[in-house]
């Protein structure tokens, strides 16, 4: 991580642009609006032209807003004519600059992310302006109480503006609400989809169990099912290397015994099945990051990097308690902060994050060994932050009884009922199936 810049004075800090604006975010926000000209964009009514630092960007946004409110559908030609009517086309760099804005936009799906960056920079500039005005006010006549009052009024106004940005007027937004199941992504398991409807945007879904109960396997099965349905998947593996996961994936797809494959005991037909499985993998999008020292900051950076270049439909993490967090020494605080960050990321990027988690040993001391949500190891924050908590209960605890019968216990479900659904673990093929 590069060292932070050190500024010897407030004036030196004010001369930089690092903190008060982002050319890339402003350009991407305007470019997204231009590329989405034929679609209704709700955010356009929330943006203010003063949010943009560059005067030409302020003018372009005013023209975009005028075109969007004047016409039900508009395009680059209408935007150019609107700027000509404002006598501002040449001032903003002409049509060439408008085209460049669209071409330089990484992904219109990230419009909300660009929106947040531009808005945040604007609020920082407002705060800096309040600080400057307060310092200037110190040299003017008047009591300290009056000067504090001026500063307090300005800060309160800014605070209300920031807080009010997240408030939704229900009467205006109610028509956007629907109950279509298209908003959820299927897991490929009918029993799970019936229980939780699938993975929802902004969901933090925890799949927990004791060691060797199949947490990693179920995560990989769901990820593979989603990739098979054409979804783009990003998986973070802290427990196994990417090569091990790919070996498991190929054996699952080919229905080949993993042990036989590792010991080179495959028949000619099985080798052909593995090659066919490789062909399947080449045609689908599943990315694996096996960085061992994964922190919340690196997780955010990697998701940001991937979502800039392409759509990500779901993130998988195996597993939560193996993540690092240098900010905290105590395990409880470390895991609590990691859990909180995962939920924030799910909301921020508006995508589901499916997390494997470890259960503590109390489960083994229980006569029926049936897990509960309170058995989540190291922190109670996990069960508070999660939208869905599912617990794996393998019934074949007796080494002589390896039937693979498993209960997937949904112990927390913000969308509906809790309960248990049966699965069968096929160990040789490292796959869960529904009986």
Residues designated as active site: 239
Q: Is 405 helix (H, G, I), strand (E, B) or coil?
A: strand
Which residue pairs from 136-145 have beta carbons closer than 8 angstroms and sit at least 24 positions apart in sequence? none
Burial 372-387 (b: 16+ CB within 10 A, else e): ebebbbbbebbbebbb
Vertex 399 angle, CA 393 and 403, to 5° = 60
Please give the biggest Cα pair distance in the chain: 93
Q: State how far the alpha carbon of 45 is from the alpha carbons of 32, 48, 64, 67, 68, in Å.
A: 14, 8, 11, 12, 10
Q: Give 211's Cβ-side CA count (13 Å radius).
A: 4
- DSSP notation for 356-403: EEEB-THHHHSSS----GGGBSS-THHHHH-SEEEEEEES--STT---
Is residue 112 within 8 Å of residue 99, measured between CB atoms? no
Task: Give dist(CA 270, CA 254) in Å, integer.
Answer: 8
- Region at 369 (left for phi over 0; alpha for psi -120 to 50; beta for the rest): left
Beta-bridge partners for 237: 318
Task: Give dist(CA 261, CA 264) in Å, integer.
Answer: 5
Q: Is 426 helix (H, G, I), strand (E, B) or coil?
A: strand
Cβ-proximal residues to 332 (8 Å cutoff; 6+ apart), any chain: 378, 379
Residue 268 per-residue DSSP state: H
Residue 300's nearest CA partner among 211, 225, 234, 240 is 234
Task: Give dist(CA 232, CA 219) in Å, integer.
Answer: 15
Distance of CA 162 to the CA centre of its chain: 22
């Amino acid at each position: 991580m590069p060292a932070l810049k050190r500024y010897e004075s407030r004036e030196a800090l004010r001369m930089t642009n690092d903190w008060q604006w982002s050319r890339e975010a402003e350009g991407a926000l305007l470019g997204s609006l231009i590329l989405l000209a034929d679609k209704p964009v709700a955010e356009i009514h929330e943006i203010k032209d003063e949010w943009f630092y560059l005067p030409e960007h302020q003018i372009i946004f005013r023209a975009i807003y005028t075109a969007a409110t004047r016409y039900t559908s508009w395009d680059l030609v209408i935007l150019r004519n609107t700027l000509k009517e404002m006598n501002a086309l040449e001032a903003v760099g002409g049509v060439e600059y408008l085209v460049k804005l669209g071409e330089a936009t990484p992904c219109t799906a990230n419009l909300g992310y660009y929106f947040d960056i531009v808005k945040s920079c604007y609020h920082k500039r407002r705060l800096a302006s309040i600080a400057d005005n307060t310092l200037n006010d110190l040299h003017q006549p008047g009591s300290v109480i009056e000067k504090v009052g001026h500063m307090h009024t300005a800060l309160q106004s800014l605070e209300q503006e920031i807080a009010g940005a997240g408030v939704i007027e229900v009467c205006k937004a109610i028509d956007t609400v629907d109950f279509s199941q298209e908003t959820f992504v299927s897991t490929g398991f009918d029993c799970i989809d019936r229980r939780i409807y699938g993975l929802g945007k902004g969901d933090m879904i925890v799949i927990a169990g004791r060691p060797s109960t199949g947490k990693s396997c179920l995560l990989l099965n769901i990820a593979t099912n989603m990739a098979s349905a054409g979804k783009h998947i990003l998986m973070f593996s802290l427990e196994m290397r990417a090569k091990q996961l790919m070996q498991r994936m190929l054996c699952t797809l080919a229905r080949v015994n993993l042990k036989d494959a590792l010991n080179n005991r495959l028949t000619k037909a099985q080798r052909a099945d593995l090659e066919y499985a490789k062909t399947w993998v080449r045609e689908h999008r599943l990315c694996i990051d096996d960085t061992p020292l994964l922190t919340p900051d690196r997780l955010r950076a990697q998701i940001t990097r991937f979502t800039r270049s392409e759509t990500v439909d779901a993130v998988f993490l195996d597993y939560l308690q193996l993540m690092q967090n240098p900010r905290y020494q105590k395990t409880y605080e470390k895991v609590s902060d990691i859990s909180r960050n995962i939920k924030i990321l799910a909301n921020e990027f508006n995508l589901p994050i499916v997390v494997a988690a470890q259960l503590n040993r109390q489960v083994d001391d229980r006569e029926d060994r049936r897990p509960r949500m309170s058995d989540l190891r190291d922190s109670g924050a996990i069960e508070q932050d999660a939208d869905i908590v599912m617990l794996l209960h393998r019934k074949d605890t007796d080494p002589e009884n390896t039937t693979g019968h498993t209960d997937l216990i949904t112990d927390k479900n913000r969308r509906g009922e809790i309960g248990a659904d049966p699965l069968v673990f096929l160990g040789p093929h490292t796959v869960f199936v529904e009986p």
